[in-house]
Structure 1
């Protein structure tokens, strides 16, 4: 006897995307230029340019803003020398900034540096997405 049932499956799809960084003036020009091209692709791009949104700022107990940059204290950051930095969510320096520790490529760890010191001496810091 045959049986049938509904089942939910999760599929992972990898796709290549293109990220185009342009100024607001360039976006205005592109939007106008696309008006002369009919079709679903130009319409889709024009619609996206009409509804540009800003990303929501990261704010939580695990973030800290310094010099206009919001740092996610749960993430690892890499400095200009390719050393990794992690920040404490609990320990703070006298300026209120989180304290950092670093991991060099040879796994030596040092710590107790404030975020301001790390940025000034070793910045810029780049968030590691892994």
Structure 2
């Protein structure tokens, strides 16, 4: 029997881009030159970009992490141990990190960090 399912794949593509930095006066002058010409295609897209500049992108927020024995781990990310059992890390208070094999709801639900780390190596599970 045939089956089908959707799958999401991440592809990494490297491309070279050119970043042109202009003063407001230079941008205005270039808009005028392009706007006076009959243009299409890529040149028209440059004209549109000059006509409607966007604000800089905000950097992605840094992941919440902690370090144990020289290794950095992400909070809220699933890891598997040497037996392929799942583990999660959460932070309670300023610097107490609890671990567990299921969702951790409060400090009493978690295991001590030393206990969790006794099951190393831990491998981050990526979607």
Q: State TM-score, norm by structure 1.
A: 0.40
More strand by share: 1
